[in-house]
Structure formats: C-alpha cells, structure tokens
C-alpha cells in the first residue's frame, strides 16, 4: 500500500503518454489532513531541475497539500520556459484539487534537456486526480518508474500510526543526497511549537543514514527529491524519536531496494569501514571505494582484487597508517597490516551480496556505504538511454 | 629510439619470466654521464608501492645513474618483505653496473598484493645489463608494457640536443599525478648552482600540463613514477625555458598516446573548459565531467547527452551561474544559457576523437582534460585482469 498505508492520504498513477513505452507516467499523492505538515530534502547539484527550484519554495513554509510526479522527462536544463511548465503544472493541480498552487510539490524524472509535453501532462493530471484513492499507493509507485525494473514501496506500521513510502531510481545514484524521487507519508500527529523544524530534522536524520549512504554510480542527479508529508489522521501523538525511527526504517528499506535494482548491477556491495578516527573519515573511505571503477569491475568478475580497495583507500585524507590496513571480503581477511593476508582464492563472490570490511585501525567510528558492481549491462543501458 | 635518442644513455628490455605470457618484462636504462642529474614525481596515493618509497629516497639528492623497471608485478601492499625485494633489486643493479645502489631508481607495475619472484627478476636484471645498447630504447619501452597494446615513445630533437621518453599505462589513469611509469632522458647540459631544483621544476611544470590532465578512469595507482635523467652528453648548454618546452612536448606526446591506448576505450574525449574564473576552477569542472560514468557511457553510445555534462558541472564548487552555461559537442552548441541549444541530432560522435567545450562565462581561464569513454571492453578487461 506504500504511501496510502497511513491514514489521510490518497494516491493514483496513470498513463498520460509522456513515455514512448505507453507505461504509467503521472502520479499524484494528496494529503487530506487534518494536518498538512511537510519537509523535504533536495539534490545538492547546482544544476537543479525546474521542479526542484519550485518545490524548495513550496516546502519553505512547512506545508504541502499534494505532490505531482511525472516520469518521461526531468524538466532539467530547460530554462525559464521549463520553470513555467512546472509552475503551470502546480497551478493546474491546485485548481482541480481546490488547494493553493503554492502548496503543491512537483517532481519530474527522465531525460535532461527536453521540455515536457504539457498537452499530455495536464490531461494526465486530471486523470490522476480523478483516480485518487486510498488504495492508490501501488499505482503511484509504478507511475514514477524510469529504468526501474520493479516499483519500490515500504511501510513501517506502529501501534495506531504508520509510515509509508515509495521511491524510484536506478541510475544517477550518488550521495548528497539521494538521487531519486521519494515520497514518505505518515499519519502521526506531531505536536509542539516548531513542527516544521522538527519534521525537517526527522527527515534529515533519516536520509543522512540511508539515501546519503548509497552510491551506485557516483553520478549526482539534477532532480533528487525526498518529500515527507504528515497528515495527523491517525490521531496518535508520536514522540519525535519514535517517528525518526519509523521514517529511518522506511528510508533504509527503500534505499536497499534502489541498490538492489540499480541499472545493470549483478552485485550489491556493502563497504563497511571500521576503526575510523571519525564517522566522516569512515564515510570518506567508504565512498572512495564505492566509486572506484576498477574495484567495481573486479567484483563483477567475481575477483577479490583487494589491491584496488587499498588503492582507493589511499586517495583519501582519512587518518590511517597504510601499514595497518586490514581488508576482508565476504569474511576472508585478504589483506592484513597493509600486506598479503589470507589466500584470495578462499573468497567466494558468486552471491548477489558482497561485504567488504576495511579496518583503518585509527579509532572506533564506523560507516557503511552500499554500492553496485560495474557491468556490461550498466554500460549498455547508459549508452543507449536517450537514443 | 625513445630514451636512447639523447646521447649518454643505454637501454635494454628482456624477458625474465615474470609474465605468464612470456613477453618482455624487465627494462634497464643507464645514464653514462658525464652528468647524472635526475628529478622525479611520484603518485600521491598514500598507499604507495615499495619501489615508490625506495625511489623517493634515491632521487632526493638529485642524482640517478640508472633505473630498473619491471612489469608483471607492482610490488605494492607487500609490506616489509616487498621493500626488501626492491632494495635487493637496486643493490643488484648497482653491483653489476658498478654504481651505488642508492643511485638506482626502481619502478614496478602489474598486479597489487603479490611478491615479486626474485629468483626470476635478478637473472633478468643480469640479462638486461648484458643487453644494454644505445639502440635499446624501443626494447625497454616494450618490456614495461602491461595491458598496453603498443609501446609508447616520444622524442623532441633540438639543435644539438634532444629529449626522449617512454611510457606505459592503460588503466588506473587518473590525475595527481600520472598513474603510469615514464622515463624521460635528455643530453642537455644544465648549468647553475641549483641544478637539482631546476630539473625538478622543469619536470613538475611539464607534468602539471600533461600527465596531470589525463584521467581515463578516475583511479589513482600506487606505483606512478615519472623520472627525468640528464646526461649532459651533448655538450650543449640549454636554457631552462627551452628544456621545459622540449620536456613538455615529449610528456604531452606520451600522455596523448596513453589516452589513445586506454583499456577498452573507443573514444578519446577532450573536455575543454573555457570562461572560468581561474585555472583551478576550469580544471575542477573538466575533471568532474571526465569522471562522470553516465556521460562516458553516452559517448560510447555516440549519444550527445549534454544533460549529463551539466549534471557533472553542477557537482563542482567552481564559480558559474547555471543559467549561463554553454556546452558544445564536436562544434554543435547543444546547450545554450543552461537550456536547450541546437538540435542534438546534429552532433556526429562516430569519430574516435570527441571534443566537448564547456563555457562557464565567469572569466577568461581555460583548461583541457583528456579522458576516454566507458565501454563494454573496459568492464571486460578489468573484471578479468587478475583471474
């Protein structure tokens, strides 16, 4: 049920004709209240798409009544006309729903540098609003897919309240942040004098530990948006710590699904850095390994080439002594004290999931970044995407 | 003739049996003087191979009498025993040549994390010294190849003096610096009170504009070494500016050959950034584009996907306004003022060489970084390298 698992939300996904494939491409999620609290985090790419620019403003007052999402076009690098398209989309959603355009978040995904066909999109919005339903979560999750092979949804059901979510994203997955479109809903009641700030803190805490720690291909998107909407419809007042826990659970579930469905990937790889002097050090090292093309090719070839791990670690500024580095691959310590460890032929990399542990022996901080291998299929999908 | 084009140098390349393929794998280049000036730059990877650690010390007094190079093993991440292997190699070369071990530079290339078979390497050194010849440059260039498909040599012949060079490198090519083994020789006479410092400045000036501006796969090696040796055998005293010009010419020639022979590449791509506020800004932007896997896959598919260029530019801290960015691909301005420019179908990417120009409209500084496309063949070569 995804985003419609919590009470107070309706959703829909329809086919507007934006995609040549004829698959669903427009989704709407509406928060029917009674509360309309919202928070969002966006791409840090300085070349940001028109819908990101628009939605930053929408979210700045902590309120959102609805979000409209389209696949089949990113509306990025489309200049002032592209921004007007986003604005017009929000106004149209506002009119048919009877809410303010300024409370409508807009998300787009697809090819960069093409205008959206508004003559198809706006009728699609009408059809989606017509189809809105408290069972519409799965349809919405399907309509936001691009190269995803499966829709991605997650829920965390608690005593009297719930968190639901949906996500799309299979390429351009890199940290800081998510490089994807994600909508999270909750029917929890959040009380206090600073609900907007509190909700923002909940979302940032969750994304920092989840979407910010997956890096499929090192490429940061222009359109990333993670939106959290709270309806209060459960009537259950929830402590912020409990809400953070549930939202983090849903984000972690979705992030893991994104890695599992990354373009052309044959392996999901957890890079766990231990013994770091700080969490920042651990993250820097994990990301450096996660972005090393040679290492990622080796994993595709089921080759425990730990030398490439060390070569990646060596490019960072983290605190460590090269003569003390340990590296384990799927439980076999192939590198001990910076040199040759156990026989690399003992490592079995045939399973989908691969776990690499790098011990810096410089402290007690840890961090894990998830990535994928670099495969023929990744090259194929991304050399043929727009042609 | 490569490194033996300048007077005062002998070289050789022989088969010691380090490679399973039975191809040549040990090279020696000797500077017979009368001068023995030398300078070198090394990888900035903190996980550096034993021969790099050794050679840093050798070069610190500005003198080198010979360099021994082996393919078939990087001698990296091999701990104290690996360093002893390098030391023993230098001592052996010193003994048979009658020079101090402390004046023998050592370079190794190949798989990381394996000890070198000294029982094969030392007899190989004997054979190489036996074969030393003033015609031995091409044989030496062949013996240092790993996945290179062709040997790489270059010369700059001036009036009465010359510069020669050889290089190996086809993968792990990334800046800061070169990610390869390079030996440059000259018979120029350099006069003055600070010859070692002057020669170091000549080499750093040349590499900063050449090897530091190629980035095939973003992966920095543990073994990079660029060595410059000056024999003074021509008797021609040369101004530092003229020497810098000739060394830069040879380095640029070799750098271009490295890109042209990069693992699995189908396209050589020049990323030229213009209109930058500073040269550092231009370099940061060019490197970001050069390291974007999605863009590199698109070029492999002959797809002028300029949106991926902008997405890469947007991740940098360089000074620019996203609404002013222009991008041309092979002469067609596909992105103008941050939005859609000329029809992308006008771009012909079928030729080997691709030229991307990014105009930041923020100043007058420029820089060009060369890279390659990301191909099925790259994935294949690097998933099967050590297995």
**pLDDT one-digit tens code per residue, B107-158:** 999 888 889 999 999 999 999 999 999 999 999 999 999 888 899 999 999 9
Does the pLDDT at position B175 exceed 60?
Answer: no
Contact call for residues A149 and A261 (beta carbons, < 8 A): yes
Q: What is the pLDDT of residue B112?
A: 84
pLDDT band at B368 (very low <50, low <70, confident <90, very high): very high
Domain boundary among B232, B260, B288: B260
Contact call for residues A142 and A15 (beta carbons, < 8 A): no
Q: What is the pLDDT of residue B387?
A: 40
Domain count, chain A: 2
Do A70 and A201 fall within a single domain?
yes
Q: Which residues of B touch A383 (CB under 8 A)?
A: 297-298, 300-301, 303
CB pairs under 8 A between A and B: 222
State the nearest Cα–Cα gap between B328 and chain A, in angstroms: 14
Q: What is the pLDDT of residue A97?
A: 97
Q: What is the pLDDT of residue A34?
A: 96
CATH of the domain at A308: 3.10.20.340
Residue from A162, A154, A137 nearest A7 by CA:
A162
Measured CA to CA, the distance from residue A154 to residue A174 in angstroms comes to 21
Residue B42 pairs in a beta bridge with B225
Do A108 and A179 fall within a single domain?
yes
Residues 59-78 of B with CB under 8 A from A: 74, 76-78
Q: Is A380's Cβ below 8 Å from some Cβ in B? A: yes
Residue B296: closest C-alpha in chain A: A383
Check B172 against A79: CB less than 8 A apart.
Answer: no
Q: What are phi and psi of A49, to 5 degrees?
A: -70, 160
Do A68 and A162 fall within a single domain?
yes
Measured CA to CA, the distance from residue B97 to residue A356 in angstroms comes to 46
Do A146 and A250 fall within a single domain?
yes
Q: Is A287's Cβ below 8 Å from some Cβ in B? A: no
Do B148 and B223 fall within a single domain?
yes
Task: Find the CB nearest A383 among B218, B298, B316.
Answer: B298
Q: What is the pLDDT of residues A280-331, one digit of tens each?
A: 999 999 999 998 888 999 999 999 989 889 988 988 999 999 889 999 999 9
Domain boundary among B240, B260, B280: B260
Residue A277, domain extent: 268-383
Q: What is the pLDDT of residues B53-107, one digit of tens each?
A: 999 999 999 999 999 999 999 998 888 999 999 999 999 999 999 999 999 999 9
The mean pLDDT of B9-35, rounded to a whole number, is 95
Q: Could you give the angle at the alpha carbon of A358 between the alpha carbons of B382 and B114, nearest 5°?
A: 50
Q: What is the pLDDT of residues B191-209, one digit of tens each?
A: 998 999 999 999 999 998 8
Strands (E) in B89-208, as ranges, are: 104-108, 152-157, 162-168, 181-186
State the nearest Cα–Cα gap between A34 and chain B, in angstroms: 39
pLDDT band at B376 (very low <50, low <70, confident <90, very high): confident
Residue position matching structure tokens 């013996």? B143
Ramachandran area for residue B213 (φ above 0: left; ψ -120 to 50: alpha; else beta): alpha
Length of chain A in terms of residues written: 387
Check B46 against A375: CB less than 8 A apart.
Answer: no
Do B84 and B111 fall within a single domain?
yes
Does the pLDDT at position B41 exceed 50?
Answer: yes
Measured CA to CA, the distance from residue B333 to residue B358 in angstroms comes to 10
Hey, which residues of A are catalytic here? 179
**What sign does the dihedral A303-A307-A308-A310 (CA atoms) show?**
positive
More confident site: B221 or A115: A115
State the nearest Cα–Cα gap between A339 and chain B, in angstroms: 5
Does the pLDDT at position B326 exceed 80?
Answer: yes
Contact call for residues A206 and A254 (beta carbons, < 8 A): no
Q: What is the pLDDT of residue A125?
A: 98
Q: What are phi and psi of A63, to 5 degrees?
A: -125, 140
Q: Which residues of B touch A115 (CB under 8 A)?
A: 340
Residue A179: closest C-alpha in chain B: B311
The mean pLDDT of A223-249, rounded to a whole number, is 93
More confident site: A254 or A125: A125
Q: What is the pLDDT of residue B1?
A: 67
Do B84 and B169 fall within a single domain?
yes
pLDDT band at B213 (very low <50, low <70, confident <90, very high): confident
Measured CA to CA, the distance from residue B36 to residue A342 in angstroms comes to 43
Residue from B150, B30, B310, B43 nearest A74 by CA:
B310
Q: Is B387's Cβ below 8 Å from some Cβ in A? A: yes
Helix, strand, coil percentages, rounded to 5, for chain A: 35, 25, 40
Measured CA to CA, the distance from residue B178 to residue A96 in angstroms comes to 60
Is A23 annotated as a binding-site member? Answer: no
Is B179 annotated as a binding-site member? Answer: yes
Do A296 and A241 fall within a single domain?
no
State the nearest Cα–Cα gap between B44 and chain A, in angstroms: 8
- Half-sphere exposure (CA, 13 Å, Cβ side) for B273? 32
Do A325 and A238 fall within a single domain?
no
Residue A99 is classified by DSSP as S
Q: Is A312's Cβ below 8 Å from some Cβ in B? A: yes
Do A336 and A208 fall within a single domain?
no
Residue B110 is classified by DSSP as S
Is B387 annotated as a binding-site member? Answer: yes
Cis peptide before A34 (omega within 30 of 0): yes
Mutation pick from B285, B294, B306 vs chain A, by most beta carbons of A within 10 Å, is B294
CATH of the domain at A21: 3.60.70.12
Contact call for residues A288 and B46 (beta carbons, < 8 A): no
The mean pLDDT of A134-158, rounded to a whole number, is 92
Q: Is B266's Cβ below 8 Å from some Cβ in A? A: no
Listed range (A216-220, B233-237, B370-374) with the worst mean pLDDT:
A216-220
Q: Is A346's Cβ below 8 Å from some Cβ in B? A: no
Q: What is the pLDDT of residue B132?
A: 98
Check A47 against B298: CB less than 8 A apart.
Answer: no
- Count CB-CB contacts under 10 A for residue A327: 24
Do A364 and A216 fall within a single domain?
no
Check A79 against B386: CB less than 8 A apart.
Answer: no
Check A387 against B310: CB less than 8 A apart.
Answer: no
Q: What is the pLDDT of residue A66?
A: 96
Q: What is the DSSP pairing of strand B162-168 with strand A162-168? A: unpaired
Residue A378: closest C-alpha in chain B: B297
pLDDT band at A112 (very low <50, low <70, confident <90, very high): confident
Do B303 and B172 fall within a single domain?
no
Domain boundary among A237, A260, A283: A260
Measured CA to CA, the distance from residue B102 to residue B189 in angstroms comes to 23
Measured CA to CA, the distance from residue A105 to residue A60 in angstroms comes to 11
The mean pLDDT of B237-248, rounded to a whole number, is 95
């Amino acid at each position: 049920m995804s985003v419609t698992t919590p009470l107070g939300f309706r959703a829909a996904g329809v086919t507007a004709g934006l995609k040549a494939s004829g698959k669903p491409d427009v989704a709407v999620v509406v928060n029917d209240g009674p509360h309309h609290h919202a928070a969002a985090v966006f791409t840090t790419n300085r070349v940001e798409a028109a819908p990101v620019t628009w939605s930053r403003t929408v979210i700045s007052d902590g309120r959102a009544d609805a979000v409209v999402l389209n696949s089949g076009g990113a509306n990025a690098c489309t200049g002032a006309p592209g921004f007007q398209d986003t604005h017009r989309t929000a106004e149209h959603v506002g009119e048919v729903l009877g809410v303010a355009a300024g409370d409508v978040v807009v998300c787009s995904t697809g090819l960069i540098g093409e205008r959206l066909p508004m003559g198809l999109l706006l009728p699609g919005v009408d059809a989606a609003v017509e189809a809105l339903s408290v069972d519409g979560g799965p349809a919405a999750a399907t309509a936001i897919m691009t190269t995803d092979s499966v829709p991605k949804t997650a829920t965390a059901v608690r005593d009297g309240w719930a968190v639901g979510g949906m996500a799309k994203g299979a390429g351009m997955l890199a940290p800081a942040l998510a490089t994807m479109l994600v909508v999270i809903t909750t029917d929890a009641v959040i009380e206090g004098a600073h609900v907007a700030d509190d909700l923002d803190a909940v979302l940032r805490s969750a994304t920092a530990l989840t979407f910010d720690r997956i890096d499929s291909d090192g490429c940061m998107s222009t359109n990333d948006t993670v939106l959290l909407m709270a309806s209060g419809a459960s009537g259950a007042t929830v402590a912020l710590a409990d809400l953070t826990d549930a939202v983090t659970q849903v984000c972690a579930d979705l992030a893991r699904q994104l890695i599992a469905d990354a373009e052309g990937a044959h392996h999901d790889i957890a890079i766990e850095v231990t013994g770091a002097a700080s969490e920042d050090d651990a993250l820097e090292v994990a990301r450096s390994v996660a972005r090393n093309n040679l290492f990622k090719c080796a994993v595709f070839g089921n080759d425990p080439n730990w030398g490439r791990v060390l070569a990646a670690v060596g490019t960072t500024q983290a605190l460590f002594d090269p003569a003390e580095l340990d590296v384990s691959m799927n439980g076999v310590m192939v590198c001990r004290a910076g040199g040759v460890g156990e026989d690399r032929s003992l490592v079995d990399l045939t399973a989908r999931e691969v776990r690499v542990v790098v011990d810096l022996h410089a402290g007690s901080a840890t961090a894990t970044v998830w990535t994928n291998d670099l495969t023929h299929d990744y090259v194929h999908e991304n050399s043929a995407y727009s042609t």
